C-alpha cells in the first residue's frame, strides 16, 4: 500500500518513515511548507518585519537527508495560502476577541489532514501518515482515535477536530512506542535528526518573543490591571498578550494593603480594556463548574448526554470527569464533576471514553454555578 508521510525534519517523523518502510509500505515523504516570511508580510503591507527566525529551511534540509538515508523520495509541497487563510487568520481573529486560540488544532484539521490529505489522494495514496503520538484503530465500519502508548507524549488533544473521513485515511506509526525508543531507533540508524531538539510552540513564531511577534500583526492597546474590587494595581501591554491563569510577566509587587502572594490573570473586561488580576494559585475566581463550547466534533461514535467522560481542557492537562448536554447549532454545555481551574475561551475541551478520543469543541465561556466568569 502507498503511504505519503508528512516529513517535518524532526526525529518523530523521521522514525515514522523508517517504521512504515519496515512494515512493507510503499513510502513517499513530503515536506510541507506552510509559512513564507516575505509573502506573509506583503499581505499586510509590512515588509519591514524581521521574520527570518523560523528554521523552516533547516528542517527541509534535514528532511532531505533523512529521506536519502532511508532511500526514500522526498517531495516538497506548499500550503502557504491555505495556512494563512485557515490557520493564521483564525489565530489573529481569536486574539482580537481576547481569546487564547490553539492554532495547532486548526493546522491539523485544515492543513495536515485536509490539504495534505487531498494532495496525497491525488497521488493515488492509500493513506497519509504523521509523526504524532496517537493510535488509530481501523474497523470495517469506523476508525477510532486512541491515546498513544506514551501517555506523556500523547497528542490526541491536537487531533480532536479530525473527521471520520480524515481519520480513516490516516496512520500513526509512533502510537505503540515511547519517545526514548524513538531516539534509540534514530541513533541506531544514525539519522541527522537523532539528537534534534523537539519543536515547541507555533511554527511561524519559532524561538521569537511571542509578544513582539504578535505586536507585528495586531495593534496593542495598553490599559489597567485591576482587582475584582476595582483597585488599579499595574498596567498591561494589551489584553491579547495575556491568558487566564497566567502568572509570568505581570510584574506586580510591593503594593500596600496586599501581601506577597503571587498574582494571576483571572479575567478580562474587553469593554473597559481591563485585565483582571488576583492573588493566589487557588483563587476562587480562577475556578468554574461548567462551560459552553461550540463547533462540537464527534470523531466516530456520538457523545452521549447521560454518560460521564474524561475531559482535557489543555494539552498535558489531567483527566477531569464531565457530562455533556447538547444544545442548538452544534453547541454543548459541559458540566464539571469537580471545579476546573482556568477553563479558557478559545482553547479546546477534548473528550475521552477511557482510551478513545471521542472528539472536542472550542470553549466559548466558563461559568461558576451559573454565573459567567469574566473570561
Residue 160 annotated to the active site: no
CA distance 143 to 172: 13
The residues, ordered by sequence, that sit 6+ positions from 74 with a Cβ below 8 Å of its Cβ are 7, 29, 30, 31, 63, 64, 66, 67, 68
CB 363 within 8 A of CB 346: yes
Provide the Cα torsion 51, 56, 57, 61; round to 10°. 170
Q: Choose, from 54, 107, 160, 343, the residue flagged as catalytic.
A: 107
Q: Where are the beta strands (DSSP E) in the chain?
A: 2-6, 26-33, 73-78, 127-129, 135-138, 143-146, 170-171, 223-226, 232-236, 263-269, 274-279, 287-298, 309-312, 320-326, 332-341, 348-353, 356-368, 371-372
CA distance 42 to 144: 42
Residue 357 annotated to the active site: no
Taken in order 248, 250, 256, 258, the sign of the CA dihedral is negative
- Residue found under cell 453547541: 331
Number of H helices, E strands in the chain: 10, 18
Phi and psi torsions of 192, nearest 5°: -65, -20
Q: Choose, from 203, 291, 343, 357, the residue flagged as catalytic.
A: 203
Enclosing H/E stretch for 89: helix 89-96
Catalytic residues: 107, 203
Amino acid at each position: 500500500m502507498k503511504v505519503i508521510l508528512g516529513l517535518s525534519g524532526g526525529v518523530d517523523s523521521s522514525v515514522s518513515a523508517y517504521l512504515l518502510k519496515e512494515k512493507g509500505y510503499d513510502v513517499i515523504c513530503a515536506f510541507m511548507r506552510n509559512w513564507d516570511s516575505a509573502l506573509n508580510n506583503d499581505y499586510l503591507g509590512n515588509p519591514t518585519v524581521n521574520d527570518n527566525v523560523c528554521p523552516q529551511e533547516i528542517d527541509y534540509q534535514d528532511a532531505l537527508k533523512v529521506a536519502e538515508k532511508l532511500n526514500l523520495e522526498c517531495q516538497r509541497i506548499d500550503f502557504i495560502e491555505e495556512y494563512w487563510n485557515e490557520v493564521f487568520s483564525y489565530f489573529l481573529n481569536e486574539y482580537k476577541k481576547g481569546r487564547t486560540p490553539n492554532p495547532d488544532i486548526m493546522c491539523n484539521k485544515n492543513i495536515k489532514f485536509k490539504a495534505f490529505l487531498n494532495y496525497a489522494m491525488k497521488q493515488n495514496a492509500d493513506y497519509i501518515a504523521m509523526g504524532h503520538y496517537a493510535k488509530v484503530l481501523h474497523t470495517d465500519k469506523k476508525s477510532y482515535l486512541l491515546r498513544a502508548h506514551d501517555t506523556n507524549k500523547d497528542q490526541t488533544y491536537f487531533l480532536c477536530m479530525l473527521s471520520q473521513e480524515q481519520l480513516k485515511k490516516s496512520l500513526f506509526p509512533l502510537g505503540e512506542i515511547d519517545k526514548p525508543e524513538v531516539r534509540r531507533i534514530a541513533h541506531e540508524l544514525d539519522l541527522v535528526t537523532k539528537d534534534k531538539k523537539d519543536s515547541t510552540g507555533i511554527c511561524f513564531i519559532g524561538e521569537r518573543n511571542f509578544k513582539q511577534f504578535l505586536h507585528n500583526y495586531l495593534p496593542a492597546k495598553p490599559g489597567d490591571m485591576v482587582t475584582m474590587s476595582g483597585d488599579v494595581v499595574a498596567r498591561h501591554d494589551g489584553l491579547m498578550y495575556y491568558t487566564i491563569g497566567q502568572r509570568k510577566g505581570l510584574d506586580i509587587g510591593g503594593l500596600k494593603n496586599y501581601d506577597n502572594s503571587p498574582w494571576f490573570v483571572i479575567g478580562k473586561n474587553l469593554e473597559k480594556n481591563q485585565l483582571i488580576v488576583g492573588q493566589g494559585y487557588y483563587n476562587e475566581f480562577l475556578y468554574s463548574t461548567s462551560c459552553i463550547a461550540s463547533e462540537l466534533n464527534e470523531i466516530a461514535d456520538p457523545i452521549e448526554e447521560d454518560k460521564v467522560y474524561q475531559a482535557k481542557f489543555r494539552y498535558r492537562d489531567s483527566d477531569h470527569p464531565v457530562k455533556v448536554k447538547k444544545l442548538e447549532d452544534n453547541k454543548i454545555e459541559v458540566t464539571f464533576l469537580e471545579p476546573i481551574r482556568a477553563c479558557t475561551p478559545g482553547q479546546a475541551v477534548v473528550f475521552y471514553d477511557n482510551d478513545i478520543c471521542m472528539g472536542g469543541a472550542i470553549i466559548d465561556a466558563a461559568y461558576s454555578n451559573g454565573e459567567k466568569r469574566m473570561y
